[in-house]
Amino acid sequence: MKKCLSIFLAVLFIASILSVSANAADDSSALRFNENGEFKILHISDCQDDYPAEEKMMTYINFMLDIYEPDLVVLGGDNSIGKEETKALEVEELCKPFVEHGIYFTVVFGNHDHEQGVDKETLLGYFQQYGGEYCLAYDAVPELHGTATHNLPVLASNSDEIKFNVWLFDSGNYVADENGNRLGYDSVTADQVEWYKETSKGLEAQADEKVPSLAFQHIVVGEVYDAMFPSIPFEIPYIVETYNNGIHYPIIAPNTSAFAGHLFEQPSPGVFNHGQFDAMKERGDVLGIYCGHDHINTYELEYEGIIIGNTPGVTCHSYGNEMTRGSRLFVINEEDTSTYSAEVITYNDLALENDDFASAIGVSKFEAGFWVFIGNLLLFLKNISALAIKVIESVVA
């Protein structure tokens, strides 16, 4: 058994090196820092719409591309929930803004993408077909759990040196017990973790140093609970949730000093933890892990040297929140790739910034300003709570 696993990992390593080399060598499609030394990523998660998509969402996406001109768009899962007979049309509609703007994009899949009778392999083919040269999503090792786990190196502005990397993981759908009873959400699995480690080592060998990176997936890592909530040795229905291979967390007691941004619903990681976060901590090349899935959260927190963040849903079809509905923009500077900036830009933020967008979606500046004010007020109250927690902790200590 151990020999078989060693052979499998060796094959993964070779495949990883080949895929890294292929991406880096093709200058016509390789991602690069721009002439200003910046690389911008727009994370759009949970479009979660039927066909035709809500016009408001498509307008928002087009304006974001026009105004911010990202170098790469990451579609963060639950990208489509249309009927089986309209799935291809839905993907074509979603790809159209990126093709028309000439902007590269890639895809991770969520737990809802496949539920309408079209499997993820077929969906990946649709994105590749309708995205054409602008779709950079691919299945690095088809034998891995899920579909389209891959990575995209980013080259220097004036050379073929690998300066940054983007990891994309299929975090799966759901897990069940031996009787087929659903236990909860899936997560990045052990074979994907091994692929990450070997590919990371391959990138380091090519670049002669660890390559800083960001990781994107739909379902958040379980360590978000270690960072946000205390653990307790017992379970209480409706008050305590169990994650991370059986650890209990009281969801009514978040540590508001641990995170920035909004926490409007409890995070929903996978039931089991297969060591993804630990592997990334050990390798030391992942700066942040960003997910979607929980539509109305915008939190970011640092835990053991890695940022864990949630990008809110962009959807106008599924559930959302006027204070958070939007996307997240990342900016990495070529001069210092050990850090980055990340900003959630909501529909209302954009409406306040751009009169044409406000008019296009029929939102008044007063309405947009009201929701931005309420969102900021809640953040202020959260920060007051966080300060109180720190004072109490210092007194107890």
How many angstroms separate the CA atoms of 192 and 149, rounded?
8
Terminal-to-terminal C-alpha distance of the chain: 50
Q: Mean pLDDT of successive 10-residue segments in the chain (397 residues)? A: 46 48 43 96 96 97 98 96 93 98 98 92 97 97 97 96 97 92 95 98 97 98 96 92 92 93 96 97 98 98 98 96 97 97 98 97 97 97 88 78
How many angstroms separate the CA atoms of 157 and 163, rounded?
9
pLDDT at residue 1, rounded to an integer: 43
Is the whole-model pTM more than 0.85?
Answer: yes
Q: How many domains, in total, are found in the chain? A: 1
User: Domain range holding 224?
Assistant: 2-396
User: Which CATH number belongs to the domain containing residue 167 in this structure?
Assistant: 3.60.21.10
Cα separations (Å) of 183 from 174, 177, 178, 190, 237? 7, 7, 10, 18, 15
DSSP string computed for 19-39: HHHHHHH-TTT-EE--TTSEE
E-state strands within the chain: 31-32, 38-44, 72-75, 104-107, 150-155, 162-168, 174-176, 182-185, 213-216, 240-243, 247-250, 286-291, 300-303, 306-310, 326-333, 336-346
Pairing of strands 38-44, 72-75: parallel
How many angstroms separate the CA atoms of 265 and 268, rounded?
9
CA 375 to chain centre: 22
Report yes or no: 269 and 228 within 8 Å, Cβ to Cβ: no
For helices 87-101 and 55-68, angle between their N-to-C axes, nearest 10 degrees: 20
**CB within 8 Å of 314: residues ≥ 6 apart:** 44, 45, 46, 47, 57, 60, 61, 325, 326, 327
The letter for the amino acid at 210 is: K
Query: Which of 390, 381, 350 has the alpha carbon at shortest distance from 263?
Result: 381
pLDDT at residue 137, rounded to an integer: 97
pLDDT at residue 11, rounded to an integer: 52
